[in-house]
């Protein structure tokens, strides 16, 4: 507990730990990386919902999570006309 403010230091709850484990498994299964793979990155992937945003929803059926534009995963797919 912080003496100056009277507030306790925040700590993750059990649900946070569980969610972290789930997302780490998802990261490993999808080979999800926080950096681009050459020219391939989430921001220029077919499944990146809003290419104008730095963070957007990936609608690939095996992910369906928020990702960063510079991230990359094994399911990257080129946008075709």
Task: State pLDDT tens for residues 2-58.
Answer: 456 678 899 989 999 999 998 888 888 878 899 999 999 999 999 999 999 999 999
**Model-wide pTM > 0.75:** no
Domain ranges of the chain: 33-81
Q: What angle do CA 48, 18, 28 make, to 5 degrees?
A: 50
pLDDT of 26 reads: 81
pLDDT of 7 reads: 84
pLDDT of 29 reads: 80
Average pLDDT, stretch 48-77? Answer: 95
- Tell me the CB-side half-sphere exposure of residue 78, using CA atoms within 13 A: 3
pLDDT of 47 reads: 97
């Amino acid at each position: 507990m912080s003496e100056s403010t009277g507030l306790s230091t925040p700590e993750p709850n059990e649900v946070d730990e569980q969610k972290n484990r789930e997302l780490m498994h998802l990261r490993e299964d999808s080979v999800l990386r926080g950096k681009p793979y050459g020219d391939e990155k989430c921001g220029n992937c077919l499944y990146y919902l809003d290419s104008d945003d730095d963070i957007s929803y990936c609608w690939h059926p095996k992910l369906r999570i928020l990702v960063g534009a510079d991230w990359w995963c094994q399911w990257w797919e080129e946008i075709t006309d």
